[in-house]
Amino acid sequence: MTNVNIDVHHVTRVEGHGNIVVDVENGELKKCEWQIVEAPRFFEAMLRGRPYYEASHITSRICGICSVGHATASLRATENALDVEVSEQTQLLRKLLFHGEMIDSHVLHVYMLVAPDFFGAGSVLPLAASHPDVVLRALRIKKLSGDLCAMIAGRHTHPVAMRVGGFTHLPGEKELLAMRERLVAARDDMDETISLLATLPWPQFERETEYVSLQQEDEYAFIDGRIATTDGFVYNLADYRQVTNEFMVPFSTAKHTRHNRQSYMVGALARFNNNYGQLHPRAKAAAEALGMKPLVTNPFLNSGAQAVEMVHCIEDSIRLVDELLDRGLKEEEPYRFEGKGGEGVGSCDVPRGILFHNYVIDDEGLIQGANCIIPTNQNHGNIQADMEALVPQIVDRPQDDIRLTLEMLVRAYDPCISCSTHLLNVEFV
Amino acid sequence: MAQNGKPKVAFFDFASCEGCQLTVVDALQTHLELVEAVEIVQFREAMTEKGEDYQIAFVEGSCTRKQDEERLKKIRAQAAIVVALGACAHTGGVNALKNLQPSLQDVRQYVYGDKWEWYDSYPARPISEVIKVDAFIPGCPIDRFEFLDVVKQVLLGKAPSIPDYPLCVECKLKENVCLFDKGGTCLGPITRAGCGAICPTYGDGCEGCRGLIPHPNENAMKDVLEKAGLTVEQLMSKMTMFNAFEPAQAKTQADV
């Protein structure tokens, strides 16, 4: 009978520290754990007593990859707590900035963290010599998305110009026009990306789960909306705890969540499954080229959904730039605190999935309580459940093959462990 | 040195957002030749290979647990040169904000409830509190051009020079209107320059992420902030966002 001992200590090409531990004795699965070993950072506790306007700057530091997403969710929580209305101009700029981060994060994940597995490489570095066109394309897309964020907020990692109620800086018309040209030119790179992904041999593994994301009436939702699940549930943002139901497990410094089943999935694939109808036609064509149509239940195809979203975000960015150019940008009066606090929830569907920030602010403008629920935390339970289902299907393969497949599974979720504390390591003990 | 004569470099991370390592990856967009100049033997966030024979170690993140000290000391024992990468490693960064809370037990209970004892944590500190550090690259996140500059200097065998003058110098060179004249507040007068004054340039006051200049006049800074209309709570918050770490405090708070 088969014995398998896998112990991947600190899984690589993911953000943060996690381990995979698998122990199969005589063909029987004894242990299969997705362990999070990242040092906890306690952001929620640190926010207490700080002025409300610092929250988005402090919480963007939860994550270097999705700092715009954290800042946006944080601002929406504060704005909901303080009854701040934001202008249409601010909403358009935030959406455009958000698309920049979405593309930046997805290109990093698809090209630099996932693709090396399909080229038999340990990282993207050897591909620079063997497949220079692929690497240069990835760097080109990444530079475009980084520059898009910088145009609006000064930089992508830890954006500067975002504040409660609006922006401290506006892009100029010339910058917007130049960016529009680059976005249009990026269509070729998107086509190449989809063609490349269509050739990759994605591992075959199906396990249906509950898919959870934001949803809106009239657009593919990234900022605000309601919480929707493929099991048919819909919630207002204020009721987010009814979805997340956080709990702790002893082998992980990250909290887990569950809703209608033992676990649920968030991220690009969840958004794709919930909101496919609102994708741009070019993005739908990309999905077709990848053979994807809801309901997609192979978690490895989360990377495919990310590529589809990149196409959508390029197209929607072009539309947003046009709208901003049409309207013209004008300076707006900054928000002034009026001595009345409150409680608010803010939510965005960031690259790795739905994110919640929830603050209580007192009448002095100081934060009295905070709660942040991070996408990767919501995926930990689903990763664990996938591993438990996948290991018996592949247990007869060579151990190195099992290890690689499990690492690829974890990577497919694009876990952001420094967000969820930090996470990744495959251990076969 | 590797057989090809290139110095071997490794990247490590402790409590952080990994944004500084991402900035290193971003530096490749414009400086792909970087990978020609050195041999990267370990970079968990970006590669699977794991070499332990490095000469130069870049360390991102703060030390926040007793068990992390051992890993830091191992890195120090191997590397000829240790570089602190970014604010968390350099000053403790935002991680040290938790040190300002009433007690670490309270902090752990607030986040993890009755399971708080499962999660180790002690006062966050810069890595220089645990091991000797040869150079630092300040900022939250690091500036990618400063990173490239430091790498160049280290490869030439020089001690990297980081500005020790205040941010106001760079802000003036950018011809920005002073934020205090526009009704804002800023830590530029006491903060170490080198970021090109990016925050004031984008309309937001400096928050001190690069650490303070040598011999800063903090009391005068507080007076200026108070005159600009900040309450005591607000000005203390501003002063501590990236500079909350106090060596004495880390020693007196129980290591739990």
Q: Is the pLDDT of residue B238 over 80?
A: yes
A-interface mutation test, from B8, B11, B17, most A Cβ less than 10 A away: B17
Which positions in chain B touch A10 (Cβ < 8 Å)?
Answer: 44
The answer to whether A233 touches A259, Cβ cutoff 8 Å, is yes
How does the average pLDDT of chain A come out, rounded? 91
A161/B28 touch (CB, cutoff 8 Å), yes or no: no
Q: Which residue has the higher pLDDT, A112 or B218?
A: B218
Tens of pLDDT, residues A75-115: 999 999 999 999 999 999 999 999 999 999 999 999 988 88
For residue B248, name the pLDDT band (cuts at 50, 70, 90): low
pLDDT for position A428: 34
Q: What is the token pair recorded at B60? A: 């991102």
**For the whole model, what pTM was predicted?**
0.94
Mean pLDDT computed over B168-180? 97
Within a 13 Å sphere around the CA of B78, how many CA atoms are in the beta-carbon half? 21
Q: Is the pLDDT of residue A426 over 50?
A: no
Least-confidence region, from A21-30, A301-310, A357-366, B185-194: A21-30
A-interface mutation test, from B111, B145, B195, B240, most A Cβ less than 10 A away: B111
pLDDT for position A239: 96
A64/B98 touch (CB, cutoff 8 Å), yes or no: no
Reduced to 3 DSSP states, what percent helix, strand and coil does chain B have, rounded to the nearest 5?
45, 15, 40
Which positions in chain A touch B187 (Cβ < 8 Å)?
Answer: none
Q: Is the peptide bond before B141 cis (omega within 30 degrees of 0)?
A: yes
Strand-pair partners of A215: A226
* Helix (H), strand (E) counts: chain A: 15, 12
Task: Flag whether residue B4 sits within 8 Å of chain A, measured between CB atoms.
Answer: no
For residue A146, name the pLDDT band (cuts at 50, 70, 90): very high
pLDDT for position A15: 67
Q: What is the token pair recorded at B87? A: 């604010």
The residue of chain B with its CA nearest to that of A426 is B48
Tell me the domain boundaries of chain B: 8-155, 167-240
Decide the pairing of beta strands B56-60 and B81-85.
parallel
Q: Is the pLDDT of residue A421 over 70?
A: no
Mean pLDDT computed over A5-30? 79
Q: B231: distance to nearest CA of chain A, Å?
A: 10
**Chain B, window 173-212: residues with a beta carbon less than 8 angstroms from a chain A beta carbon:** 198-199, 201-204, 207
Q: What is the token pair recorded at A395? A: 């247990």
Q: Which fold has domain B8-155?
A: Rossmann fold (3.40.50)
pLDDT for position A422: 28
Region of residue A39 (phi > 0: left; psi between -120 and 50: alpha; otherwise: beta): beta
How does the average pLDDT of chain B come out, rounded? 91
Tens of pLDDT, residues A153-180: 999 999 999 999 999 999 999 999 999 9
**Chain B, window 7-36: residues with a beta carbon less than 8 angstroms from a chain A beta carbon:** 13-23, 25-26, 28-30, 32, 35
Least-confidence region, from A116-120, A325-329, B123-127: A116-120
Q: Among residues of chain A, what percentage have pLDDT more than 70?
A: 95
Report which DSSP code applies to B184: -
Q: Is the pLDDT of residue A67 over 50?
A: yes
Query: Among A14, A5, A2, A28, which residue's Cα sits nearest to residue A254?
Result: A14
Residue found under tokens 């082998």:
A251
Q: Is the pLDDT of residue A302 over 80?
A: yes
